[in-house]
Amino acid sequence: MTHGMGMILVIPALWFFIAQAVKRSHDISNSGWYILIPFYGLWLMFSSGVQGSNEYGDDPKGFVDPNEVYSIGQNEQH
């Protein structure tokens, strides 16, 4: 494989890995800029995500806070 072909494959792979690291960083309620800290990737691998929603969106694992479900049920009129 020539050098040019290698770069065609490396650039999308690098983009993918950076995007996944930023998403994971958001999952633990940190800014995506934290991925620039050396060895932060190790922290991402071993830390748990925030259960429920945070400022970056909903829990990707689908955790639902029971208090939110209860309050939603109270707002419905029968």
- Which candidate, 51, 57, 52, 47, places its Cα nearest to that of 23? 57
Segment 8-65, tens digit of pLDDT: 888 889 999 999 889 888 888 888 898 899 998 888 888 777 777 767 777 666 666 5
* Phi–psi pair at 30, nearest 5 degrees: -115, 160
Burial 24-38 (b: 16+ CB within 10 A, else e): bbbbeebeeeebeee
pTM (2 d.p.): 0.61
